[in-house]
Amino acid sequence: MSGWSERLLGAWYGAHPALGLLAPLEWLYRGVVQRKRRRFLDGQSPTYRAPVPVLVVGNITVGGTGKTPLILWLIEHCRAQGIRVGVVSRGYGAAPASWPWRVRAEHSAAEAGDEPLLIVQRSGVPLVIDPDRSGAVRALLEAEPVDLILCDDGLQHYRLARDLELVLIDAARGLGNGRCLPAGPLREPRERLESVDALLYNGAENDPEGGYAFRLCPTALVNLSSGERRPLDYFPPGQALHAVAGIGNPQRFFATLQAQGWQPVVHAFADHATYQPQQLQFSPALPLLMTEKDAVKCRAFAEPDWWYLAVDAVPSSSFIAWLDLRLASLLGRAPKA
């Protein structure tokens, strides 16, 4: 991560007085996004309504809040109930041969995007990317019989009608200074949260008032070269290692490693960073541990002692109960006992 990005994030999640100079740009931005939403609510902008329910998983802040692990949890949870699920995504950073693009496990991160490729490789779910989410939905429905579509991000993509909106918030960082871009980290004003269906707080121990808790739990160490899985205690307490994270909130990843008792030498990169082998040649020689999102871009040149940390989302039981009732209503099924 560049020093400029770190300073900006520090200002957004602090109280830097210089951000007041950006107030005119902030109000201009707020006006644009509010007009866009009003046009959607008033039916003045073209909107595609899919023939199956659409569940959007998104956020109103810039940076990582744990969307990909929650998408993976939703996929498995739905499958366990016999719900055929598909996923659509913008495919940030992807360069496929054409749009829309069906992502396959054998594709490269360069053509598919790192997060969509991770989701497909982990779950095998049918997934289509397209900056126009409605185009992705149409292509997915033409190719696969699905009962429910999960939209990865896309909260602000109003051309796609949705039936449920789940918004993720980092429990530690919250909404930062509560201001919109560029004076703060918000993509939409905080009032937008009043209209969503559920708020999930990543890292909360218990359900906060008006929302639900979920955690990201480390489950295994996976070797990039061989694919072997090892338990977390494969690295003993006090293990020194190089830690690589090119995600929206790399400090959360580094804190997770420290919580395991390891001693990471941290290397933060920009979100969705593209890596070259020489960038990951660190001294001294230590095991290298990265996020799974980074691993999908590094397998082709991985060295024998390179690993990624597998993590799973664990939502609160009250969220699961709420979700099951909503899914039953949307799909016309009896609620899960």
Confidence band of 333 (pLDDT split at 50, 70, 90)? confident
**Residue range 43-80, pLDDT digits in tens:** 898 899 999 999 999 999 988 899 999 999 999 999 99
Residues of the chain by 3-state class (helix, strand, coil), percent to 5: 35, 25, 40
Cα separation, 164 vs 170, whole angstroms: 20
Q: Which residues contact 98 (CB under 8 A, 6 or more apart)?
A: none
pLDDT (mean) for 16-22 = 87
Q: Is the pLDDT of residue 296 over 70?
A: yes
pLDDT surpasses 60 at 337: no
Q: Which residue has the tokens 């496929």?
A: 96
Evaluate whether 32 touches 180 at the Cβ level (below 8 Å).
no
CATH 1.10.150 for the 3-14+43-213+315-331 domain, yes or no: no
Q: Could you tell me which residues come within 8 angstroms of residue 158 by beta carbon, excluding any fewer than 6 positions away?
A: 36, 37, 39, 40, 45, 47
Rounded CA gap, 43 and 37, in Å?
Answer: 10
Question: Is pLDDT at 85 greater than 90 in this prediction?
Answer: yes
Q: Enumerate the domain spans of the chain.
A: 3-14+43-213+315-331, 216-313
* Pair 115, 107: CB distance under 8 Å: no
Fold agreement (3-14+43-213+315-331, 216-313) = no
Please give the Cα distance from 55 to 60 (Å, whole number). 16
Question: What CATH number is given for 216-313 in this structure?
Answer: 3.40.190
Count Cα neighbours of 277 within 13 Å in the Cβ-side half-sphere.
Answer: 5
Task: Give the number of C-alpha atoms closer than 13 A to the C-alpha of residue 318, restricted to the C-beta side.
Answer: 13
